[in-house]
Amino acid sequence: MERLNPHARADRYGSRINRTQSPIRVGSVPYLSIMLASLLPVLLIADVMPLLPSLGFLMLLGWRMVRPGLLPLWAGAPLGAFDDLFSGQPFGSAMLLWSLALIGIELIEARFPWRGFWQDWFTAGLVAVLVWLAGLLLSGARFTPEMLVVALPQALLAVLLYPIMARMVASLDRFRLARARRIG
Amino acid sequence: MAPPSSRRSGFSKKAQFSLFTGYLLAGTGAVVGLALLLLSLWQPSAFAPLRGLASDAVAPAGEATAVIRSGQQGLFSGITGYIRAGSQNAALREEVELARIRLAEAEAVKAENRRLKALLGLQDKAIKPVAIARLVGSSATSGRRFAFLGAGSSNGVRPGMPVLSERGVIGRVLETGRSSARVLLLTDSESVLPVRRAKGDVVAFAEGRGDGMLRVRLVNLGINPLKPGDLMVTSGAGGYYRPGLAVAVIAKTTPDGGTARLVAEPSSTNYVAVEPVYQPEAVSALRTQSAASRLAGNPDRRKQPAAPAAPTASSSSAVSAAAEQGDE
């Protein structure tokens, strides 16, 4: 059989014989990817204006939208606390906003269960913009009109980045579920 | 994607309870977050040790990217140098620019010296930087403008110390970890810096606007003497910065001062120096005074002269007061 078709006994997650998923990978990839996305923007030097939207939150939204039910409802609090350590926002702001965002999405989803890609994008964009605005208001500094103006590209980027994030989450999900462990 | 049907609880008591517990935990997380947020808005330094640990952990990665960043800058300036008139051109241009800033600073120092000699004859001591380090990162996703520095309390860096590049002031150390520190950049909207014009004595405050420009507000209102192109330098009032460091160049004048561009952009610097607080006695006296006035519930007490326990502080505030008096 293998001589005719080498992929005969494999699917997109790898060989189906003698292999199984790695439980560590299955459990950790969503959390690690969100935490890494929280860390990455720290390495940029932004002296004039915010350069990127909160990548950690976009990654969280991606996992929530692409794989509903994978992250528990309370995942926003610990992941937000981690993000607060690096983002420059006062500690607790992402913890509060990410929790509220996840609860809000859950409530919306209970009413409108089936969603296609465009509706996903709309919901994610709306939530991202609301969280961006609330984060700006809760930044611990006086809110000036100039701050809002220079942060507007952030909101636009947040909306535009969602499809890319969703694709990234999909490929990460394939990596997460790959049959990496050999049995016996 | 459609939610899996396993998330509908139906009549299963177990599923209903687990759904309810999920909401309960998420709500608790939000409430705890709100409480921590209120605490950190009330006491911004409450979580400084935690953040210090976190930034210590990230600093090594930041060092690596800082090396790459400076390498890239070198590459780009080299390429532009070849395109124009050889790579020397770029270096010379930068040197001339630095020399121009230095010249303006020297003028400021000259004026300062004249004034001080006339007043007291204070002797100037050479200031050695506490640490020289790279900027390893910043808060690129937040509306606040913080930078992370690759040196911390183990290198002698303490909160309040000024951070300078070779061109001028970058900001002030806000919190320290063991091997990293958080710097409040001048462009942050909470940053206020007492400045004066390099030529002549116009005293003002430079406040960050949050969009990369500084708002310069004159202390003495009247006819605005500022002109676009004027260099503002630190005045030394407040005791944190030594006087005569380049801060910003006026870009546009407004009725009460002007808006100014930074002289030292953090993103284009390679190494920065952390200097000790210029007059620690003055800073600590100001701090105890404001704490006392807060305890007494009377903000006017801040205006009274310093306590006799800190004679240097009162003399320094007298100097700055005299400097402000001698503007006209």
Q: Decide if A88 and B30 are in contact by the 8 Å CB cutoff.
A: no
Q: Decide if A142 and B190 are in contact by the 8 Å CB cutoff.
A: yes
Average pLDDT per block of 10 residues along chain A, 184 residues long: 78 82 91 94 83 92 91 93 90 94 89 81 94 90 84 92 94 90 82
Rounded to two decimals, the pTM is 0.79
Digitized pLDDT (tens) for each residue of chain B, 328 residues in all:
555 555 667 788 888 888 889 899 999 999 999 999 999 888 888 888 888 888 888 888 888 888 877 776 666 666 665 666 667 777 888 889 889 888 888 888 888 877 777 766 555 556 788 899 988 888 888 888 899 998 999 999 999 999 998 888 999 999 998 999 999 999 888 889 999 888 877 899 999 888 888 999 998 877 888 888 889 999 888 888 888 888 999 999 988 888 999 888 888 787 899 999 888 877 777 777 766 665 555 444 344 443 333 333 334 443 444 344 433 3
Cβ contacts (< 8 Å) between B189 and chain A: which residues? 141-142, 144, 147
What CA–CA distance (Å, rounded) separates A174 from A23?
Answer: 14
Q: Give the ipTM of the model, two decimals please.
A: 0.84
Per DSSP (E only), the strands in A26-160 are none
The phi and psi torsions of B248 (rounded to 5 degrees) equal -155, 160
Q: Decide if B22 and A73 are in contact by the 8 Å CB cutoff.
A: yes
Please identify among residues 149-168 of chain B the ones whose CB lies closer than 8 Å to any CB of chain A.
none
> Which residue has tokens 């001080």?
B116
Q: Decide if B1 and A68 are in contact by the 8 Å CB cutoff.
A: yes
When CB atoms are compared, the residue of B27, B36, B266 closest to A91 is B36
Per-residue burial over A155-164, b = 16 or more CB atoms within 10 Å of its CB, e = otherwise: bebbbebbee
Cβ contacts (< 8 Å) between A87 and chain B: which residues? 139, 141-142
Q: Does B139 touch chain A (CB under 8 A)?
A: yes
When CB atoms are compared, the residue of B51, B65, B213 closest to A43 is B65
Q: Decide if B140 and A45 are in contact by the 8 Å CB cutoff.
A: yes
pLDDT reported for residue B297: 52
pLDDT reported for residue B300: 43
Beta-bridge partners for A154: none
Please identify among residues 4-43 of chain A the ones whose CB lies closer than 8 Å to any CB of chain B.
39, 41-43
Query: Could you give the residue ranges of the DSSP H alpha helices within B6-47?
Result: 13-42
**Closest chain B residue to the Cα of A71, Cα to Cα:** B22
Cβ contacts (< 8 Å) between B3 and chain A: which residues? 68-69, 109, 113
Q: How many CB atoms lie within 10 A of CB B299?
A: 10
Please identify among residues 91-110 of chain A the ones whose CB lies closer than 8 Å to any CB of chain B.
91-97, 99-100, 102-103, 106, 109
The 3-state DSSP class for residue A21 equals: coil
Residue B178 near residue B211 (C-beta atoms within 8 A): no
pLDDT reported for residue B291: 65
**CB neighbour class for A11 (10 Å; exposed up to 12, middle 13-18, buried from 19):** exposed
pLDDT reported for residue B280: 81
- Number of A/B CB contacts below 8 angstroms equals 215
Cβ contacts (< 8 Å) between B213 and chain A: which residues? 146
User: CA distances (Å), B297 to each of A101, B44, B286, B292, B306, in order?
Assistant: 40, 21, 16, 8, 17
Q: Decide if B33 and A77 are in contact by the 8 Å CB cutoff.
A: yes
